[in-house]
Amino acid sequence: MEYHDKVLKCAECSQEFVFTAGEQMFFADKGFKNEPKRCKDCKAKRSQSPGPSANNFQRAETKTTCSQCGKETTVPFRPTQGRPVFCRECFQQRRSMSSPA
């Protein structure tokens, strides 16, 4: 397929920017189906700003009771119903018992 430079409009600042033939080939090689929506400046600003993204993901901490000793503890996930949840001490104790010495 032959690619030609395209002029696109940025969804953030409404400025026009060029989606080069080389960038289009890169997108096609990576299997990307959509064209970029933001110019390079807006894309850079967006990646710099704090907010919910993969880089600054906040873990959900949940208060629960340890299935082994009954102590109240906090775990970095939402417990699944029917599955045991252990405090740090009980978890490490179980881990050391199950691993070969």
Taking only the tens place, the pLDDT of each residue in 32-75 is: 999 999 999 999 998 887 665 555 556 678 899 999 999 999 98
Which pair of structure tokens corresponds to residue 10?
């940025």
Pair 60, 78: CB distance under 8 Å = yes
Q: Which residues, in sequence order, are bridge partners of residue 6?
A: 19
Model confidence at 12, pLDDT cuts 50, 70, 90, reads very high
Q: Rounded to two decimals, what is the model's pTM?
A: 0.48
Q: According to the model, what pLDDT value does residue 25 have?
A: 94
- For the chain, percent of residues with pLDDT exceeding 90: 61
